[in-house]
A = this chain, B = another copy of it.
Amino acid sequence: MKHDAYTTSIQPLLDYFEDCIPLHEHDKQLVKNLFHARLYRKRHYVLQEGDVCAQFNFVIRGCLRMYKVDEKGNIHILQFATENSWINDLGSFHGLKPSTLNIDALEDTVVFQISRDDLIVLYTEGEMFDRIFRVLVENSLVGLQERLLQNISSTAEERYETFLYRYPHLVNRLSQVQIASFLGVTPEFLSRLRNFRSKAKS
């Protein structure tokens, strides 16, 4: 029986890189050889805390989340990754240290993965990949900075508004529990916020 994952095109990943910098044929071949498709079924783990993050993940289809579980057992979501976005624990990945984070699948999800060793090959043999990944990480850094500012300076309601504005495609795809955990509020309070909003709207 043939898996979906094995028939998945790598083209979206090439497109993603080329949005940043055009690739030579040699570079494209490297990507095709070094990245491998894999399917994660809903609720399966891409990374569990305690393990070293060994793969860099680019999502082709589906949805992953990265989160931390605190002492009280509460989940705090750092990031969602849907189509055409990447996700991994960079600190664990590069430092070869056990991760304190988890990554799991909220839907059946197809990713293209590259191992740390192969990524180094990609950096070494490829022309532009240091630059491409520099730009990707810079963009992540900017986004994360904005989110930190939001969290420090805004109320839960404002953060929810911003979420609706920035991730409209996620609103109906995620449960409110997931959204609440991303915003840093309890599901109960998010429910109240939505209630206030729908009353205020009319």
Q: How many chain copies? A: 2
* A63-87 vs B, Cβ < 8 Å mask (1 yes, 0 no): 0000010100010101000000000
Contact between A184 and B74, CB atoms less than 8 A apart: no
Which one of B68, B130, B138, B153 lies within 8 Å of A94 (CB-CB)? B138
* A105-149 vs B, Cβ < 8 Å mask (1 yes, 0 no): 000000000000000000100000011011001101110111111
Name the residue on B nearest A131 (C-beta).
B130
**Contacts A138-B90, A153-B68, A153-B76: A147 and B148 contacting too (C-beta < 8 A)?**
yes
Chain A interface mostly: helix
User: Does A1 belong to the interface (CB within 8 Å)?
Assistant: no
Docked pose: A202 CA to B152 CA in angstroms = 32
What chain B residues lie within 8 Å of A134 (beta carbons)? Answer: 130-131, 133-134, 137
User: Does A29 belong to the interface (CB within 8 Å)?
Assistant: no
User: Does A11 belong to the interface (CB within 8 Å)?
Assistant: no
Contact between A152 and B151, CB atoms less than 8 A apart: yes
Known: A74-B153, A151-B152. 9 other contacts (CB 8 A): A76-B149, A76-B152, A76-B153, A90-B141, A130-B130, A131-B134, A133-B134, A134-B134, A137-B138
